[in-house]
Every structure is written in C-alpha cells, then in structure tokens.
Amino acid sequence: MKIVILNSSPRRKGNTSKLCDAFCKGVVTTDKNPDITTVFLNELNFKGCQSCFACKLRGSKQYGRCSLNDELTPILTAVNEADCIVFASPIYLMDVNSSAKAFLERLCFSLGSYEVGYRSLATKKALVVTIYTMNTNKKFAPVKAMNNVDMFLGHIFSPPQRLCSYDTYQFSDYSKYVVDVFNEAEKAKQRENQFPKDLHKAYTLGADTATAYLKNRINK
Ligand SMILES: Cc1cc2nc3c(=O)[nH]c(=O)nc-3n(C[C@H](O)[C@H](O)[C@H](O)COP(=O)(O)O)c2cc1C
C-alpha cells in the first residue's frame, strides 16, 4: 500500500507529527510492508497556485496537472499515484496553515476539473485521512474550514476519515512564556489524559485504513 503523508506542521516532533507516527504504527499491524512517504510541507520550497490555468488548457498534455515546477512537483505526482493520502495540519488562525493551504491549491485546483459535473481528474480514488490538531476545544473548532478541506479532498479522491486532536499542548514549558489565558495545569491534564487517547485513535485509524485498502483490493 502506497501512503503519502502530507504533514504541514513546522514542528517535526509536534502534536501533528506524533499523530502521523501513530497512524503509521497502526498501518503496519495490518500491512507489514507499506510504502510510506512522509512529506514535511513546511520544509519544501514551493508556492501556491499561480492562476496560470495551464491545468485547464484544452488539448494540452498538462491538462489536469499542475505546470509549476518546484519542490512540490514530485510530491503532487506521488500523491496522484498513492493508495492512501494522509493530510495533517495544525490549525492556525481558525484554518489549516499556510503551507497546507498552498499545497491544497496546487493539488485540488489542477485535479478538480471545470467540466460539466466537475469531474475529478485524479488517477485513483485514494483513501483519504485528515488529521487536524488545535489548541482550542471541540466547541470552538473551525468546523467550516475542516469541512471545506474534507469536501475538496473527498470530491477528488474519496471521502476522508477525519481525526481531530483538541486542546493540544503548545509549549514544552508553559512557565517560560506569557500565556496567561491558558491554565497550564488543565493543559497538562489534557496532555496526560486525552492526547494518548488521540494517539490511540490515530493508531486504530492506521490499522483500519490498511484493512479497508486490502479488503478493497481483494474484492477487485
Ligand atoms: C501561528 C499559530 C496560529 C494558531 N492558531 C490557532 C487557532 O486559530 N486555533 C487553535 O485552536 N489553535 C491555534 N494554534 C495552535 C496550534 O494549532 C496547536 O498548538 C497545534 O496542535 C500545533 O501543532 P504542532 O504541535 O504539530 O505544531 C495556533 C498556533 C500557531 C503557531
């Protein structure tokens, strides 16, 4: 099973990364030899969509493919060939963060056609998992923004399985920073009690996704 993980967090050891790692551990319980590529979007040199419309050009070889040539180019190809895509982003300003957004512009605009019915131009109906981590609790989560991303990825590939981790621990040592609005004790409690449960959910999601893929392949 070919899996591409698009992790937009700038923190390689942050909450989002830990959940992605747990997902991978879950995958290998079912698929002993998965082909997993993890992409840290924040470390790549790339731009969002430049509105050149080459991907929409009638009769063009580039139809349905992004023409920009930068460090995202091979990643877009890998995503289009994947059996499973994991899109993982921390929430910044009530939305996915900027590298996640730039990636989505490039992917979804080129693969989402303007043909009648808005046909998807993706090569495969890859399984999709979305992972969102945020400081806020469930009540104030940016549901519209997450629904929006899931809607686009769902249209182009297949409806995502979503995992949200709320109330995440932001600072390694809260006492060093001015964060009067958050109660550190509450945060620590959350990290101790809830975050391991979120990791377990990610692990289970990994196992379930690999199972769904293998079942689907057998039935084909
Ligand atoms: C620039 C910035 C903006 C943020 N905006 C929000 C926000 O609007 N809502 C929220 O719940 N958390 C917000 N956060 C907190 C992060 O989403 C949260 O700590 C997340 O789990 C970080 O993921 P990471 O550990 O993988 O980097 C923000 C963090 C940063 C650095």
Mutate to test the pocket of ligand 1, among 170, 172, 179 (most ligand atoms within 8 A of CB): 170
Reported as a pLDDT band with limits 50, 70 and 90, residue 218 is confident
- The DSSP annotation for 57-88 comes to -TT-TTTTS----STTHHHHHHHHH-SEEEEE
- Give the nearest ligand 1 atom to 93 CA: 8
For the Cβ of 137 lying below 6 angstroms from any atom of ligand 1, the answer is: no
* 158: containing domain: 2-219
pTM of the model: 0.97
CA distances 168 to 9, 13, 50, 143, 151, Å, are: 13, 13, 34, 17, 25
Residue 145 pLDDT > 80:
yes
Reported as a pLDDT band with limits 50, 70 and 90, residue 127 is very high
Reported as a pLDDT band with limits 50, 70 and 90, residue 73 is very high
For the Cβ of 7 lying below 6 angstroms from any atom of ligand 1, the answer is: no
CB atoms within 10 A of CB 217: 10
Q: How far is the CA of 169 from the centre of ligand 1 (A)?
A: 9
Looking at residue 30, which CATH number applies to its domain? Answer: 3.40.50.360
Residue nearest to atom 16 of ligand 1 (CA): 134
Q: How many domains does the chain have?
A: 1
